[in-house]
Amino acid sequence: MTLSELVPGEIGIVKEFTDLEMSVKLMEMGCLPGESVTVSRVAPLGDPIAINVSGYQLSLRKFEASTIILQ
Amino acid sequence: MKADIRVALVGNPNTGKSTLFNTLTGLNQKIGNFPGVTVDKKTGVCTLPDGRTAEIIDLPGTYSLYPKSQDESIVFSVLADKANTHTPDLVVVIIDATNLKRNLLLYSQVADLKIPVIVALNMIDLSKKAGITIDIDLFAKKLGVPVIPISARKVEGIDKLKAAIGFANKIALQEPSIDVEAIAPQLIAQISEELKLDNPYFALQLAHQHETVKFLTPQQSDRIEELEKEFSFHSQKAQGAETIARYSFINDLLYDTVKIPETAKDETVSNKIDKVLTHRVFGLFIFLGILLFMFQSIFSWSAYPMEKIGDLFAWAQNSLHQVLPAGPLTGLVVDGVLGGLSGVMVFIPQIAILFAFISILEDTGYMSRVTFMMDKLMRKVGLNGKSVVPLIGGFACAVPSIMSTRTIENWKDRMITIMVTPLVTCSARLPIYVLLIGLVVPNRNFWWVFNLQGLALTGMYIFSLISAVVVAFAFKLILKGRERGYFIMELPVYRMPRWNNVAYSMYDRSKAFVLQAGKVIIAVSVILWVLASYGPGDRFAKIEQKYKQPQYAQKLKPDDLTRAINSEKLENSYAGALGHFIEPAIRPLGFDWKIGIALITSFAAREVFVGTMATIYSVDGNAEKIESVQKKMGSAKNPETGKPVFSLAVAFSLMMFYAFAMQCASTVAVVYRETKNWRWPAIQFAYMTVLAYAASLLAYNLLK
C-alpha cells in the first residue's frame, strides 16, 4: 500500500521508497522509514496532498506520494 | 568600515531568519551579489555588547546543504570556500524550537564542516506554549555548542545572542554527530589526501557538489569525478545513507532532551484555518477574492501618491527650466534624464503596495497554500504551483516577478515562468489601456452594474492571463526538461505577519526596482530624447524660420505657437524619420507614422507612450493629464479619409500590440541576468514581437 492511497485522516508508517531520487528529497524533509504520516488534506483540485510528518505539514503531489510504500 | 568578525546566518525557510537578521542589523543593511551568481547577498552590521562590530551575512533559507535551487547552492559555497572574502568566522544556525527534528538536519551538516557554530533556538515562546519542554543545558552539552533560546519576533534573548557572538570561540568545539567516513571511506580518504583537506565531511560534500562549486579548478573537479568512478560512488545513495544516519543521531539527541506532547496546540489552530482557506469549494473563491482586493487596493491606494510624484517631477522640471539657461544640456538633463526618472519613480507606490501584499501573504503562510491549491492547474500548462507568485506579481511589474522565480527548483518550470511573466498586464500598460479605452469605448452602464469601459479593461487583464497560459502550454511542448519536476514543500503554520518585515520588503523591492529599471530607463530616455530633439540636416532651423513669419507669429498665441513648433519638430526629428520609415510595416495594423513614433519611443518602456502621444498631438508638456491627450487624439482626423484616426479597430489593434510586444528594456535585462544567456531574452523578444504583430493584424481586420 502506498501513501497516495490513504484518505484524509488516515495514518501510515513509512516502510520504503520505490524511487531513489524522490526518496532522497523526502527523507531530507523528515519523511523517513519508520516515521508515521497522516494525510491531513487534499488540494481543492484533488492533487497535491498535505501530510503531517515529523511534527509539521508537508505537501507533495499524488505521484510523489505513490513512491512511498507504507507498512 | 571593516567589521571585527563575520557571522553567517543559516537556517531552514520559515524559521524567522529574516526577522532575526532585521533585528540584529536594523537599517544597516546592504544588498549586493555573491560574486559570479545572481543570488542576493544581504549583509548588515551589528554592534556587539563589548563594542566590537560583527558583519552579519543572511544566507538563503535551506533544508540541507544539498541544494535544490539556485539560491540554496550558495550556502555551501559560502561556508566552505576558505579562500573567499566573505567566508564566515562563525555560523549562527537558527532553529525553530517548535520543529526541532527537521531543523536539526541542517545544523548537523553545518556543524560537521567544523566552523564555529552557535545555535539560536527561535520561537522558544511558541514552543513553550505548545507544551514542548527542552532541557537546554543538556541539549547544548550534547551538541557542544552554545544554545541561545530567543524569540526574534518579540525581540527576546537577542542581547544574549549578541553576547554569545562576542564570546564565540575561534575554533570549532561541536561534538561529532555521525560517522561521516563510513559513508564512503576510501573516496573521502583519497579526496582528503589529494586536496589536503582535514575535514572528512567537507571532502564528502565536494564529492557531491564538485560540479557546482566555484572554488575548485577544473582539474580538481575532473579528478574528483575520476575518483568517484574508481570507488563506484553513487551520489544519491550516499546522500540517502547520510540523511538516515543524521536523523538517527537527531532522534537519539531529542529522546534525551526534549518532551513533545501528543498534538501541538498551535497546529490545530492552523488546521482550523486551513479547513476554510483550502476548502474544496471556498478555497479557490477566497483566493480569487483576495486577488481582487489586492488589485483594487494597488490601484486605488497608489493613485494619490503616483499623482503627487508626477506633480513633483513636473514641478521640478518646470522650475529647472526657469532657472537653467535654455540649451541642449539643460534639455538633456531636465527633459531626458529627469523625465525618464519620473517615469520610473511614478511606479514606486504600486510596487511597494504589491510587495507589501506579497510579503504579508508569504509571511502568514497563505502563499504556500495558494501554491498548494494551484499546482494541479498550473502543472497542466507546463508551469508549477510556485509560478503563481511571479504571475500575480506580473500584474505590477515583470522585473521583480522574474527575480522571484528563483524559488522554483525545476529548471524547465522556471524558464517557462520567466518566458510568460511579461505577458501579464503590468502596471506600465495600464495608462495606455485607460487612454485608448476611454477614447473608443463609450462610458455607459448596462444591466445597472457593468460599466463598458471597466469591462473592457477587465477583459484586457483576463486576456493577458489566458495568453500567458496558452504560451506556457506551447513552451511546455517545445522545451525539453533537464530534470523531473517535483513538488515537495513545507506548509508552514499560519502566523501573524511581521510588520517590520513587510516594511523592509517594501523598501528593499522598491529600491531594487529603481536601481534595476532606473538605469535602463534613464539611458533609453536619454537616447530617445536625442532622437526626438534633433533632426537630420537643417530641418529644425527651417521650422524655426517658418514660424517666425508674421502669419504664424501674429495669429497664434505664444503657447500654441510653441506647441505647433514642437509638434512639427518631432515629425522632422530622427524619431519622426524613423516613424515614417516603419510606416509601411505598421500600416496593415492600422497605424500611421505618428503611432509609429510612439511605438519606437516606447520600445524601451511602455509608459513612454502616453507622453509621446502628448508631444505628438502637441498637448501641454504635462503628460499626466490623460484627459487632454485623449481629447486631442479623439479629434485627430486622417488627412486622406477625414475619418477619426483612433477608430475602434485602431485602438484595439494598438492595445493588442501593447499586450504582447516586449517593450521593456528592464525586463530584457533582468531575463538575461536570471538566465545568464542571451538566447532567452532573444527568444522572448522574438516570440512576443511576432505575437504582437499577428494579434494587432487580426484585431484590426476583424474590427475594421
Tens-place pLDDT, residues B571-620: 788 888 888 899 999 999 999 888 888 888 787 778 778 777 776 665 44
Interatomic CA distance for residues B388 and B371, integer angstroms: 7
**For range B253-275, the mean pLDDT:** 79
End-to-end CA distance of chain B: 66
Q: Residue B133, SS3? A: strand
Long-range pairs for B24-33 at CB < 8 Å and ≥24 separation?
A: B24/B56, B24/B158, B24/B161, B24/B162, B25/B56, B29/B504, B31/B508, B31/B511, B31/B512
> Judging by beta carbons within 10 Å of its beta carbon (0-12, 13-18, 19+), is residue B161 exposed, middle or buried?
buried
pLDDT at site B288: 85
Give B623's pLDDT tier (boundaries 50, 70, 90): very low
Instruction: State which H helix or E strand residue B380 sits in.
Output: helix B366-380
Among candidates B28, B581, B623, B24, which has minimal Cα distance to B335?
B623
pLDDT at site B420: 95
Give B39's pLDDT tier (boundaries 50, 70, 90): low
Is-contact A24 B243, C-beta < 8 A? yes
* Length reported for chain A: 71
**In Å, what is the CA distance from A27 to each residue of A32, B384, B491?**
5, 22, 16
Contacts of A47 in chain B (CB under 8 A): 375-376
Give B126's pLDDT tier (boundaries 50, 70, 90): confident
Give B355's pLDDT tier (boundaries 50, 70, 90): confident
Q: Is the pLDDT of residue B494 over 70?
A: yes
Q: What are phi and psi of B5, to 5 degrees?
A: -135, 155
ipTM above 0.85, yes or no: yes
Do the chains contact at B375 and A26, CB–CB below 8 Å? no
Cα B324-B329-B333 angle, rounded to 5 deg: 80
The three three-digit cell numbers of residue B505, written as one number: 520588503
Among candidates B444, B407, B320, which has minimal Cα distance to B39?
B407
Give B629's pLDDT tier (boundaries 50, 70, 90): low
In percent, the amount of chain B with pLDDT more than 90 equals 24
Is-contact B386 B404, C-beta < 8 A? no
Q: What are phi and psi of B397, to 5 degrees?
A: -160, 135
Strand partners of residue A56: A53
Among candidates A58, A61, A63, A24, which has minimal Cα distance to B237?
A24
Interatomic CA distance for residues B542 and B548, integer angstroms: 10
pLDDT at site B35: 58
The three three-digit cell numbers of residue B153, written as one number: 519576533
Residues 92-151 of B with CB under 8 A from A: 98-102, 105
Strand partners of residue B53: B47
Do the chains contact at A48 and B101, CB–CB below 8 Å? no
Strand partners of residue A70: A14
Cis peptide before A48 (omega within 30 of 0): yes
A4, HSE (Cβ side, Cα atoms, 13 Å): 14
Question: What are A1-37's pLDDT values in tens digits?
Answer: 999 999 998 999 999 999 998 899 999 999 999 999 9
Do the chains contact at B102 and A54, CB–CB below 8 Å? yes
- What residues does each domain of chain A span? 3-70
CB atoms within 10 A of CB B548: 11
Is-contact B69 B20, C-beta < 8 A? no
Interatomic CA distance for residues B265 and B317, integer angstroms: 60
Nearest CA in chain A to B265: A55
Q: Residues 6 or more apart from B486 whose CB is under 8 A from it?
A: A22, A25, A60, A61, A64, B409, B410
Interatomic CA distance for residues B403 and B257, integer angstroms: 42
Interatomic CA distance for residues B385 and B377, integer angstroms: 8
Contacts of A52 in chain B (CB under 8 A): 267
Tally A–B CB contacts below 8 A.
113
CATH entry 1.10.3720.10 includes domain A3-70: no
pLDDT at site B313: 86
Minimal C-alpha gap between B470 and chain A (Å): 20
Among candidates B378, B640, B16, which has minimal Cα distance to B390?
B378
In percent, the amount of chain B with pLDDT more than 70 equals 92
Question: What are B394-445's pLDDT values in tens digits?
Answer: 887 888 788 878 878 788 889 999 999 999 998 788 878 888 888 888 877 7
Instruction: State which H helix or E strand residue B56 sits in.
Output: strand B53-58
Q: What is the mean pLDDT of chain B?
A: 84
User: In angstroms, how far is CA B191 from the centroid of its own chain?
Assistant: 40
Instruction: Name the more confident of B169 and B461.
Output: B461
DSSP character at residue B483: S
Q: Is the pLDDT of residue B324 over 80?
A: yes
Q: Residues 6 or more apart from B115 whose CB is under 8 A from it?
A: B79, B88, B90, B91, B172
Minimal C-alpha gap between A28 and chain B (Å): 6
Among candidates B498, B497, B494, which has minimal Cα distance to B272?
B494
Q: Residue B286, SS3? A: helix
Q: Residue B666, SS3? A: helix
Helix spans in A1-71 (H): 20-28, 62-65
Q: Residues 6 or more apart from A22 whose CB is under 8 A from it?
A: A64, A67, B486, B488
Taken in order of first residue, the domains within chain B and their CATH numbers are 5-167 (3.40.50.300), 180-259 (no CATH), 510-703 (no CATH)
Is-contact B344 B490, C-beta < 8 A? no
The three three-digit cell numbers of residue B576, written as one number: 519622426
Instruction: Name the more confident of B448 and B479.
Output: B479
Do the chains contact at A56 and B493, CB–CB below 8 Å? yes
User: Is the minimum CB–CB distance between B289 and chain A shorter than 8 Å?
Assistant: no
pLDDT at site B640: 67
